[in-house]
Amino acid sequence: MENQHSRLVICFIDICGSTKLYERYGDAEALKAVTTWMTLISETIQDYSGTVLRTIGDEVFCTFPTPKDAIEATAFMQRSVPGHNSLKNFKIEMRIGLHFGDVLKEKGEIYGDAVNLAARLTSVAKANQIITSSDTVQAFPEVLLTKSRKLGRVSVKGKIEEVVVYELLWQEDEADLTTVQESSADTATRTSSALTLRYGDTEVRLNDQKTSVTLGRGDKNAFVINEKMASRNHATVEYKQGTYILTDFSTNGTHVKMYDGQKFFVHRQEFQLYKKGIISLGREISGDTSNCIFFTQIVGFSRPDQ
Identify whether residues 66 and 194 lie together within a single domain. Answer: no
Higher pLDDT, 1 or 292: 292
Identify whether residues 265 and 219 lie together within a single domain. Answer: yes
Confidence of residue 116 (pLDDT cuts 50, 70, 90): confident
Mean of pLDDT values over 281-299? 90
Give the chain's domain count: 2
Whether 185 maps to a domain, the answer reads no
Contact by Cβ (8 Å): 56, 13: no
Q: What is the largest CA-CA distance in the chain?
A: 70
Identify whether residues 95 and 194 lie together within a single domain. Answer: no
**pLDDT, tens only, 184-206:** 333 333 345 789 999 999 999 99
Q: For residue 172, what pLDDT is reported?
A: 57
**pLDDT, tens only, 77-94:** 999 998 888 898 888 999
Identify whether residues 22 and 52 lie together within a single domain. Answer: yes
Identify whether residues 141 and 108 lie together within a single domain. Answer: yes
User: The sheet that has 243-248: what strands, in order across it?
Assistant: 223-224, 212-216, 235-240, 243-248, 270-273
Range of the domain at 235: 190-302
**pLDDT, tens only, 142-188:** 656 667 888 877 776 666 677 888 888 887 544 443 332 333 333 33
Q: For residue 302, what pLDDT is reported?
A: 41
Identify whether residues 157 and 21 lie together within a single domain. Answer: yes
Confidence of residue 301 (pLDDT cuts 50, 70, 90): very low
Higher pLDDT, 42 or 7: 42
**pLDDT, tens only, 35-75:** 999 999 999 999 999 999 999 888 999 999 998 899 999 99
Q: For residue 178, what pLDDT is reported?
A: 32
Higher pLDDT, 148 or 97: 97
Identify whether residues 29 and 50 lie together within a single domain. Answer: yes
Identify whether residues 91 and 215 lie together within a single domain. Answer: no
Identify whether residues 110 and 240 lie together within a single domain. Answer: no
Report which of 252, 249, 248, 250 is spatially closest to residue 273, judged by C-alpha positions: 248
Q: For residue 149, what pLDDT is reported?
A: 82
Q: For residue 247, what pLDDT is reported?
A: 93
Higher pLDDT, 231 or 125: 231
Boundary (domain end) residue, out of 178, 211, 239: 178
Label residues 1-36 b or e (16+ Cβ within 10 Å = b): eeeeeeebbbbbbbbbebeebbeeeeeeebeebbeb
The DSSP annotation for the chain comes to ---EEEEEEEEEEEETTHHHHHHHHHHHHHHHHHHHHHHHHHHHHHHTT-EEEEEETTEEEEEESSHHHHHHHHHHHHHHSTTSTTTTTT---EEEEEEEEEEEEETTEEESHHHHHHHHHHHH--TTEEEEEHHHHHHS-GGGGGGEEEEEEE--TT-SSPEEEEEE--SS-GGGGGPPPPPTTS-S-EEEEEEEEEETTEEEEESSSS-EEEEESSTTSSEE---TTS-SS-EEEEEETTEEEEEE--SS-EEEEETTS-EEEESSSEEEE-SEEEEEESS---S--TTPEEEEEEEEEEPPP-
Q: For residue 153, what pLDDT is reported?
A: 78
Identify whether residues 135 and 208 lie together within a single domain. Answer: no
Boundary (domain end) residue, out of 154, 178, 202: 178
Contact by Cβ (8 Å): 167, 127: no
Identify whether residues 197 and 172 lie together within a single domain. Answer: no
Identify whether residues 117 and 229 lie together within a single domain. Answer: no
**pLDDT, tens only, 222-275:** 999 999 999 999 999 998 867 889 999 999 999 999 888 888 899 988 888 888
Report the CATH number at residue 282.
2.60.200.20
